[in-house]
Structure 1
């Protein structure tokens, strides 16, 4: 059962003044118990952890062999499967959005930048305003990303813009926009066939659910839900992903939340809020 706010608020202060018996009781819970305890995160550690984790993620993602032949066959299979399901409308969306130049250029920049900007912003917001939930939410995000790495290795997939036949428009190449690691001169620095699952969806849905669950302002909560929906439209319009890539992103996020719940005993949004420790209560007088 999650602890109340007041319990977490005074936890550290009580430990410091409760004496040796409290220390013994604390130690008896073991290392895992202390790691799972809601606590205020340390800024230097979080910056270092996120930087190292993203560097490791990029290194592993780009180290996965670019199996072009298999990736193109998998893309044909995904396209056929969507046709059988009646949801193969990505090409129509791609061409329709590409016909409105200002709109598709905006989507190109959205795809290249907001994926990182919004995710970092939500992490900072969690750190500042919801420190007791920060570690669990961060673990869910990290586990989601780890699950994606498995997908990239097991199921190499070409994005629609690289499919044989040239039926899709590579909007970054056509409009010469900057910032994409998937087109132009930068494409040699990134694995071109790591499209399944879509981490644009996994990360944006994590952001959206976090904001919706924890924000107190109604219109901000609505924006939280609109963000992953708009991201879905962008990844399809720019021909970077199929609809089913988004499903893969949702499955990875579900795995991330399961990992966080298994470790902390609750989903991140159900954990207590940690504030600055208050003074320990005075002992009862006889």
Structure 2
């Protein structure tokens, strides 16, 4: 069959070349997948629920290598002394002496990690549908790579270190709600402290609010949230400073994945979601 028979633009007997042969079908599908669409509420609820359940299942399925986790904690503590940043014990003991403050931090640690993150997702869904999928991808990629850290580098939190130098503030003050201490500790992997997803998620929330909120005070709160979270995870003896660094590196990985997939940082994408029939390349725009 000649080329003119296949590609003749005006002949009545024009033969349509299957997209699978030309590759246009696959390219079109890939283009559509990489173009943010208006999110479907039912799908997002299901996706978030299944994703968190999977994350929790995998995180808790990682073997609790107690001996190795304690050894890694001792090594990390020595490293922080060498770097001159090993002040977690002083922060833990100092804030524990102010009962109302440390109890508030215990509840902060147990609740805001989930409440604020879900709140930001809802806000994105309603107010920034064109940026929602890309920003959600950052969160998912951040959380996914954290699982690798839990497996490769089991780490005991400071409150479980040998020697009893740190105070488990949840146990001492009988605070309800933490999966890390008390009656609920058997439901969560106690040796998955590196990286800190309290920092990964809170910094994701803070940067998203700072980048997209139009109200100045909201942007300030966005920056204060991860900073406060850093103080809380140290004061409650749930993490070392370097656990926070691990969380930041995971978040950087998440942004890199979203940037490569969508061709722009999430916050640079158009605020409104393109129509579902859109197949052209997505261009960053200002709102």
Per the TM alignment, residue 275 of structure 1 is displaced from its structure 2 partner at its CA by: 5.3
**Corresponding residue for residue 15 of structure 1:** none
Work out the CA distance in 2 between the residues paired with 1:137 and 1:28.
Answer: 25
Contact 1:38 1:274 in 2 (8 A): no
Per the TM alignment, residue 32 of structure 1 is displaced from its structure 2 partner at its CA by: 1.1
Aligned-pair Cα RMSD in Å: 1.9
**How has the CA–CA distance of structure 1 residues 266 and 275 changed in structure 2, closer, same or farther, with 3 Å as cutoff?**
closer
Per the TM alignment, residue 29 of structure 1 is displaced from its structure 2 partner at its CA by: 3.7
Show structure 1 runs of 5+ residues with no match: 1-23, 278-286
Per the TM alignment, residue 185 of structure 1 is displaced from its structure 2 partner at its CA by: 1.1
Per the TM alignment, residue 274 of structure 1 is displaced from its structure 2 partner at its CA by: 1.4
Query: 2:130 matched to 1:132?
Result: yes
Work out the CA distance in 1 between the residues paired with 2:196 and 2:125.
Answer: 25
Query: 2:183 matched to 1:189?
Result: no
Work out the CA distance in 1 between the residues paired with 2:37 and 2:93.
Answer: 49
**Corresponding residue for residue 282 of structure 1:** none
Aligned match of 1:145 in 143, 146, 150? 143
TM-score by length of 2: 0.87
Contact 1:39 1:274 in 2 (8 A): no
Aligned match of 2:237 in 236, 239, 253? 239
TM-score by length of 1: 0.87
Work out the CA distance in 1 between the residues paired with 2:52 and 2:26.
Answer: 35
**How has the CA–CA distance of structure 1 residues 62 and 254 changed in structure 2, closer, same or farther, with 3 Å as cutoff?**
same
**Corresponding residue for residue 99 of structure 1:** 97
Work out the CA distance in 2 between the residues paired with 1:63 and 1:225.
Answer: 34
Aligned length: 257
Contact 1:38 1:272 in 2 (8 A): no
1:161-240 equivalences under 5 Å are 161-240=159-238
Show structure 2 runs of 5+ residues with no match: 1-18, 276-287
Work out the CA distance in 2 between the residues paired with 1:243 and 1:226.
Answer: 17
Larger radius of gyration: 2
